[in-house]
Structure formats: structure tokens, C-alpha cells
């Protein structure tokens, strides 16, 4: 799923942490980072804020209930 305009990064990562399955961030180069890993979260934040903009992120969740959580977050953020 494409993710745009995340305004509450802390809440976003809490939702990611609550997911039962694997949640990945796909980089522009096609690499997949495990977003449940704290190290990957810090690396992701550094990349997101390196130029001060968040144009678009691609996030992949593998469990249907995790997809629902992430979509609910995006709809209510």
C-alpha cells in the first residue's frame, strides 16, 4: 500500500509494532526493510527526514488484520 502524509510518526510506529505479521517498507531502490525492527524504524526516520519531505512510502503487510490496522491509521490520522 502507498502511504502519504504521515503526520504522527510515533503513532504510525505503534500501529506497526502492534501488527501480528511482518510489515516492510519498500525503498526507492526496491529494498525491503522490516518496520518492526527498531533499527529499521530509526533508519527509516532518518531517510524520511533527510530532505524534510515525505512524498510517498510503500508499506507491505502480510496479514489481513495488519492491513486493516494500517488502513485505519491512515484514514484516522
* Per-residue model confidence (pLDDT) at position 69: 94
* Per-residue model confidence (pLDDT) at position 30: 84
In the chain, the number of structural domains is: 1
Strand order in the sheet with 32-34: 2-3, 57-61, 23-26, 32-34
Counted residue by residue, the chain has a size of 77
* Per-residue model confidence (pLDDT) at position 48: 65
* Distances 61 to 1, 6, 55 between C-alpha atoms, Å: 8, 17, 20
* Per-residue model confidence (pLDDT) at position 17: 93
Q: What is the CATH number of the domain that holds 49?
A: 3.30.1340.10
* Per-residue model confidence (pLDDT) at position 52: 53
In sequence order, the β-bridge partners of residue 21 are none
User: One digit per residue, pLDDT tens: the chain, 77 residues?
Assistant: 888 777 788 888 899 999 999 999 887 778 888 989 988 888 777 766 666 555 677 899 999 999 999 999 988 87
Residue numbers of the domain that contains 41? 2-76
Amino acid at each position: 500500500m502507498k502511504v502519504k502524509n504521515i503526520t504522527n510518526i510515533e503513532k504510525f510506529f505503534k500501529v506497526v509494532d502492534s501488527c501480528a505479521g511482518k510489515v516492510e517498507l519498500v525503498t526507492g531502490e526496491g529494498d525491503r526493510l522490516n518496520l518492526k525492527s527498531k533499527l529499521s524504524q530509526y533508519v527509516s526516520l532518518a531517510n524520511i527526514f533527510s530532505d524534510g519531505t515525505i512524498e510517498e512510502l510503500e508499506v507491505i503487510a502480510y496479514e489481513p488484520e495488519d492491513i486493516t490496522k494500517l488502513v485505519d491509521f491512515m484514514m484516522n490520522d
